[in-house]
Chain A
Amino acid sequence: MIIEGKQKIWADYQKDIPDDHYFYVRSCIRQAFWPGSEVTFLDITRNKLRKDMYENPYHTTCGGIAYHSDTIPQETAMTIIARQFALMHESGYENYVCSCITSFGCYTETLETWHEYPELEAKIRQYLWDSCKKEFAKPKYLAHASDLIYKFRFDIAKQMKFPLVNAKTGKPLKVVEHIGCHYSKMFPSKGFGGAEYPHVLVGMIEAWGGEVVDYPERRHCCGFGFRQYFVQANRGYSESNTYKKFESMEPYEPDLIITNCPGCPYFLDRWQYVIAEQTGKTYGKSGYGIPALTYEEVAGLVMGYDPWDLGLQMHQVAIEPLLEKMGVPYDPKKKYQGVNGKDLGRPQCPSCIKVS
């Protein structure tokens, strides 16, 4: 590996995004999958970094899941997106940041398409007015939320309490980074680091003390791939993608996987349970899996947030071995307590993979 080669690419694929004043839009599925991630992003940016992040309660899904599943035409998806942009404009913002990678891909694709085909933009402008009576506007800057955490990674490092380091040995944790396909594979120039060797998560890992694992199937899809999973008959294909990745990363013995897509951590997490049930194999040490976390969860962990406030109990793969490696204190009794001590219930114990 020639690190200077990667560094050159990283230098070539940088993008200009503002420091502050963003209109934030949520993902339609992340709140169900990883309920602590978005709220942690807002807490870090608003309260730790003192940034202005505005949320409009009327914003909706971007339509990306339906678009990529071929259940709505592109014009419909674009009109939904135009409405989101109109809400940003009405709220007095021009910098748009989204939580979801697929949304980021859809927004990027839409803006590029409007740029290339102004007649389509004019058509969507009319659709927006006819359907919502809203004024058409486009963001001046578009960013993914991971772009902002990347941009502020050194500010976060200054407030870091538990770096990505094994507290007992002092050695950096080995971290796999997994980038959502829609981040930069379609438009390499829109992502930090480009499409082949993205820097957005690598930069976070390095800034927070970890060691990046580059393994042969690094670029391979997590297994979500929309139709791979949504079409029930294809789910074996979805799982086989995940299986391929784990088989490839296993020799490197990673401590953690960090992702920036709604679906990736879900599939990298849940399929570990299924693979274990089917094959009896687990990829972490001593019968555990490898935790697959969102970048907000990792940022929260290193900054000293309570793991259960981050929602890490929502992962199928037990997080405790990672917490112990990092030296993060946690109360096992509170793992399944929700807000105000509400009992969240216990997951059914799998037969192979350890969950606590």
Chain B
Amino acid sequence: MKEKILIIGGGAAGMEAASQLYKMGLHPVIIEKSEALGGHIAQWDRLFPAFHPAKDVVEKMLDDVKGVDVRLETEVVDIQRDNNGFHAVLSNNEKLDVQAVVLATGFDVFKAERKQEYGYGIYNNVITNAELEQFFRTGKDERINHPKRIGFVHCVGARDVKVCNTYCSKVCCATALKQACEVKEVFPDAEVYTFYMDLRMFGPGYEDLYLKTQKDFDVKCVRGRVCEVSENMDGKLVIKAEDTLFGKPLKMTLDLLVLMCSMEKNKSINAIQQKLGVADNSDGFMQSKDTYLGMNETAQEGVFVAGACTAPKSLPDTIAEARAVAVEVFNYINR
């Protein structure tokens, strides 16, 4: 009988880890609370830095998990350690005995309402990065009605002591520039501005994206944070910001404002995480055993982590971690 590995989460990390473990001859079981595999990436239209369709990536990953045991619309409601590993109870009353657990629960998108000064949920034309991505996929969002001037606010819910998230969310800079280009493709006559603290274009092709955004798409990158959003009589947004390169405050009228919401830990796993004895780190994500050599391990034997459950991560980082965790689990099973 093959050793069963419980993988909690059917997003990019969970799917890739399961795919690799399956190829290694083990028996991964993916528990996914939503009705489909794919996680956040399945809700995305195109991926930075090369504007690659997210759908292609998801389809390839789905192809790779063919044959893997999957439970959709299911959650782990209880888990206990026993002599042979772990005994898990699922929300469909199924009971599973597994030798190891991989937490691949990903992230929640920061709730933009918490940054009240940006007026999400108050002013009609303030939307989030996830909602804009949905518009790119479907072409439908009544708030996006041929905007002439569009703004992007970086770091919404990240690098922000006021919301207790001091970490960088890592992917928002590149996503903002990607979306700024895409919105120019849809509305070529629109003026597009991005408001950033620093542009952290750290990965391969990212700096090229930054240059392309300005040279080919004429997006204006303003170094400064938006401090306040309000609405005028015409229903247009009035924003206040500071251009720190000019050293001057600015006020601007926009038709659409996109908030680049950060990643936060997926808190729906907290109860199971607690039962497994896995702590949180100072950023509120799950604590790895070691920053350098134990990133996929936790302080609890047989409990592993992969993807954005430990920190904000890009898709390539997540895939790399998922493959690494498969090796860790394989070595653990064969110890």
Write the residues of chain A forming the contact surface with B, with a CB cutoff of 8 angstroms. Answer: 1-2, 4-6, 8-9, 194-197, 214-219, 251-252
Contact = CB atoms under 8 A, between A and B. Distances in A.
B131 to A, nearest CB: 14
Contacts of B117: 196
Given A196-B117, A214-B231, 14 more contacts: A2-B121, A2-B122, A5-B113, A5-B120, A194-B116, A195-B116, A197-B116, A215-B232, A216-B230, A216-B231, A216-B238, A217-B230, A251-B233, A252-B233
A214 B237 CA distance: 13
A2 B116 contact: no
Given A9-B116, A195-B116, A197-B116, A219 B230 contact: yes
Nearest to B232: A216
A197 B122 CA distance: 10
Contacts of B116: 9, 194-197
Contact of B122 (A6, A195, A215, A219): A6
A264 to B, nearest CB: 18
A14 to B, nearest CB: 15
B123 interface: yes
Nearest to B251: A216
B231 A219 contact: no
B121 A5 contact: yes
B124 interface: yes
Nearest to A252: B233
Interface in B71-122: 113, 116-117, 120-122
Nearest to A194: B116
Contacts of B301: none
Given A194-B116, A197-B116, A251-B233, A1 B122 contact: yes
A104 B197 CA distance: 34
B233 A8 contact: no
A217 to B, nearest CB: 8
Nearest to B227: A219
Residue of A215, A216, A218 with highest tally of chain B CB at under 10 A: A216
A194 to B, nearest CB: 7
Contacts of B160: none
B235 to A, nearest CB: 8
Interface residues of B, number: 14
A197 B113 CA distance: 12
Interface string B274-308: 00000000000000000000000000000000000
Contacts of A2: 121-124
A197 to B, nearest CB: 7
B121 A8 contact: yes
Nearest to B117: A196
Interface of B: 113, 116-117, 120-124, 228, 230-233, 238
A216 B234 CA distance: 11
Nearest to B238: A216
A6 to B, nearest CB: 6
Nearest to B120: A5
B124 A218 contact: no
Contacts of A197: 116, 122
A1 B122 CA distance: 6
A78 to B, nearest CB: 25
Contacts of A251: 233
Nearest to B115: A196
B306 to A, nearest CB: 35
8 contacts: A1-B124, A1-B231, A2-B124, A6-B122, A9-B122, A194-B116, A196-B117, A216-B230
B228 A219 contact: yes
Contacts of A6: 122
A1 B123 contact: yes
A216 B123 CA distance: 12
B237 to A, nearest CB: 9
A112 to B, nearest CB: 16
Contact of B230 (A5, A8, A218, A252): A218
Contacts of B120: 5
Contacts of B228: 219
A71 B158 CA distance: 37
Contacts of A194: 116
A251 B234 CA distance: 11
Nearest to A251: B233
Nearest to B237: A216
Contacts of A8: 113, 121
B73 to A, nearest CB: 29
B128 to A, nearest CB: 14
Contacts of A252: 233
Nearest to A188: B116
Contacts of B122: 1-2, 5-6, 9, 197
Contacts of B230: 214-219
A9 B113 CA distance: 9
A164 to B, nearest CB: 21
Contacts of B233: 251-252
A68 B3 CA distance: 68
A6 B123 CA distance: 10
B164 to A, nearest CB: 14
Contacts of B113: 5, 8
Nearest to B235: A1
B97 to A, nearest CB: 44
Nearest to B231: A1
Nearest to B234: A251
Contacts of A216: 230-232, 238
A196 B240 CA distance: 14
